[in-house]
Amino acid sequence: MVTVHTRQTTFAAGPVLAVAGLAGLALLLTSGRYAGGFDELYFLVAGRDHLSWGYFDQPPLIPALAAAMDWLAPGSLVVLRLPMTLAAAAGVVVTALIARELGGGRGAQAMAAACYATSSIVIVSHWIGTYVLDPFLWTVVGWLLVRWTRTRRDGLLVWAGVVTAVSLETKFLIPALWAAVLLAALVFGPRELLRRPKLWLGAAIAVAATVPTLLWQATHGWPYTHMSEVVAAEFPGYGAWVRDGLLGAGIGVGVLALLYGVWRLLRSPDLRPYRYLGAGLVLVALAVVLTQGRSYYLMGCYAIPFAAAATELTRRNLVRWWKAVAWPAFVLSAVVTLVALPVWPASARTSFGPFSLGSTFAQGELPQQELAKVIGQTYASLPPQVRARTAVYAEIYPFAAVGEFYGAPYGIQRVYSGHRAYWYFGPPPESADAVLFAGFDPGLLRPYFAHETQLVDGLLWEYDGRTKPWPEIWPALKRQ
């Protein structure tokens, strides 16, 4: 049996809270500068207008949270993104707490916090999204496991189950973390982790909380099981994945801290009780690579290696001058993080498959706003008697969400689509025998209408004279 050091250092509240506060302040001050992203508008529309226990591509928490924030402050991007800002700042603190559990002093805690604050986790926290909240929840689970390893307080495992339940309402990825960690515990120890009744009590809590979402998936044909195919098709190959997965830890300092931290978790005698966590994180990375998951799935794995790297570096003091190099490097990383925040004037040249928005819209405009303007103005220009029987249909869900979110001033109340979750929101009413189509492939609706007119080159078409009822057309329009 491996002896775990029970000594715990003092929490470095000053420097850690300063780093967390600066990260949160940067996000707070800039979160209103960029228009709603395609995905977060989809989350908002899904929660506000189609609240459900599940969706094709995700559990219900983020849409419900987006709807709640919009209800509190309608139209405020700052309030909409506030939960992600708080999660990013809290993740900085939890990463420092992991370093503290590993025996790291003030310097190690501050360094671990700085690694987290200059990683891509903070950059993506500009938006509300599943890929923002879930890494924070993984980080909390990691801290609870590290603390349990040091203290053997089994109540921590129950709390880990509660956090896992929240994570399962955000994304369905965290079972991969638990499977990898428990397998590594069987190999490297502590095997007693699997014999703790409160571990399985926590698991039961997580499963029970997820039952409504699982029932939604079951009654709708388990659509989430197709997401691996969708992701693999969108991000083929491994080269870019490895690059993005590593660079996501942070340019320069973060990448080195990630690699050094994993190595020390696997090799350091001082961190031997936590070796199973390092091995588990490696297994998670391999699983994501082999299944061609998205590189940002690994953001939840950064905190423990960051903490281990900071603790080992300060403990070993490999070279006398390392501090003189480390802090300027962190300042440079912070500057890179600030520059990478999506708050500066943007180009409209955004691509979706073979179609570039820049080919249609003026440069210097935000693509989501310009797209909504083109759709809205075209719809509003239709003769009133035609507009009354015309439904707006988008080929892909980002176009549908943008049209629905920004469409109200133009008289657009609802946008329909057969893409992903939008197909489950249902077809247009039978009174809609004409369609304004926004997309790339005009052949998608052509078989079901007698007349087709191109309104905006490569983007908008008008269809009239529907030849079949919508209930017959709708199953054929379902697309992943």
Highest average pLDDT, of 48-57, 125-134, 315-324, 327-336, comes from: 48-57
Phi, psi of 196 (to 5 degrees): -80, 120
The Cα–Cα gap between 441 and 299 comes to 35
Whether 129 contacts 40, CB under 8 Å: yes
Question: For 229, how many CA atoms within 13 A lie in the half-sphere containing its CB?
Answer: 8
Across the range 300-314, mean pLDDT stands at 92
Question: Other C-beta atoms within 10 Å of 126: how many?
Answer: 25
Banded model confidence at residue 339, pLDDT cuts 50, 70, 90: low
- Tens of pLDDT, residue by residue over 438-460, are 999 989 999 999 999 999 988 99
DSSP SS3 for 261: helix
DSSP string, 268-289: -STTGGGHHHHHHHHHHHHHHH
The Cα–Cα gap between 295 and 170 comes to 17
Closest by Cα among 331, 337, 271, 336 to 305: 271
Tell me: pLDDT of 317 over 80: no
Which element (helix H / strand E) includes 437?
strand 434-438
- Mean pLDDT for the chain overall: 85
- Tens of pLDDT, residue by residue over 166-189, are 999 999 999 999 999 999 999 999
Question: How much is the pTM?
Answer: 0.87
Whether 438 contacts 394, CB under 8 Å: yes
The Cα–Cα gap between 265 and 281 comes to 10
If DSSP states are collapsed to H, E and C, what string results for 151-174?
HCCCHHHHHHHHHHHHHHCCCCCH
pLDDT of residue 130: 87
pLDDT of residue 356: 36
Identity of residue 389: R
Question: Other C-beta atoms within 10 Å of 325: how many?
Answer: 11
The Cα–Cα gap between 177 and 175 comes to 5
Tell me: pLDDT of 278 over 60: yes
DSSP 8-state code for residue 476 = G
- Tens of pLDDT, residue by residue over 97-113, are 999 999 999 989 999 99
Distance of CA 67 to the CA centre of its chain: 17
- Tens of pLDDT, residue by residue over 340-363, are 666 544 333 333 333 333 333 333
Banded model confidence at residue 231, pLDDT cuts 50, 70, 90: low
Query: For residue 315, what are the CA distances in angstroms to 108, 151, 186, 283?
Result: 8, 21, 29, 27
